[in-house]
């Protein structure tokens, strides 16, 4: 069986599914689809920690599915904007796991990751898959992936 490593940009998936479909992403359905006939060597969900009970419940669900949840504190700036970007953390983990995986799966629509997938694909004998909301996934990211899987009804709650 192929060895797969999964990386979820939780904030990106939350906001893109909410904006496009007014629904939540179904992590259980995703897990079933993405791991079928594959061995999971790493599965990470990158999120922002606000510490509220609803969020803690969501993190527990992710852990029960099989994800390691990585958290950064929620930072509110003086101007009212917020910070909580995981791009560098995701990049470092993808680079580490690409060396030992057959398949790298990224859940994000963020075009900044196109450079990462291009680098991983040219450096390691790995297949890259991107799951994203079609209308809100950067074309450059879609093009950088070996396979793009559209988030649609079967992956939504």
Give the chain's largest Cα–Cα span: 50
Q: Which residues touch 15 (CB under 8 Å, ≥6 apart)?
A: none
Distance CA 120, CA 144 (A): 10
Res 80: pLDDT? 57
H/E segment holding residue 138:
none
3-state secondary structure at position 73: strand
Rounded average pLDDT over 112-135: 97
Fold of 11-155: Rossmann fold (3.40.50)
Res 83: pLDDT? 56
């Amino acid at each position: 069986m192929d060895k797969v490593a999964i990386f979820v940009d939780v904030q990106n998936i939350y906001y893109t599914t909410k904006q496009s479909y007014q629904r939540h992403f179904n992590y259980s359905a995703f897990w079933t689809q993405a791991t079928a006939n594959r061995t999971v060597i790493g599965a990470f969900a990158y999120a922002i920690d606000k510490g509220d009970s609803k969020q803690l419940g969501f993190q527990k669900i992710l852990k029960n599915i099989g994800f390691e949840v990585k958290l950064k504190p929620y930072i509110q700036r003086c101007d009212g904007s917020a910070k909580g970007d995981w791009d560098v953390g995701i990049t470092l983990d993808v680079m580490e796991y690409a060396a030992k995986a057959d398949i790298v799966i990224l859940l994000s629509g963020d075009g900044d990751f196109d450079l990462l997938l291009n680098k991983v694909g040219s450096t390691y004998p790995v297949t890259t898959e991107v799951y994203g909301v079609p209308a809100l996934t950067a074309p450059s990211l879609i093009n950088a992936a070996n396979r793009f899987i559209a988030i649609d009804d079967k992956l939504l709650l």
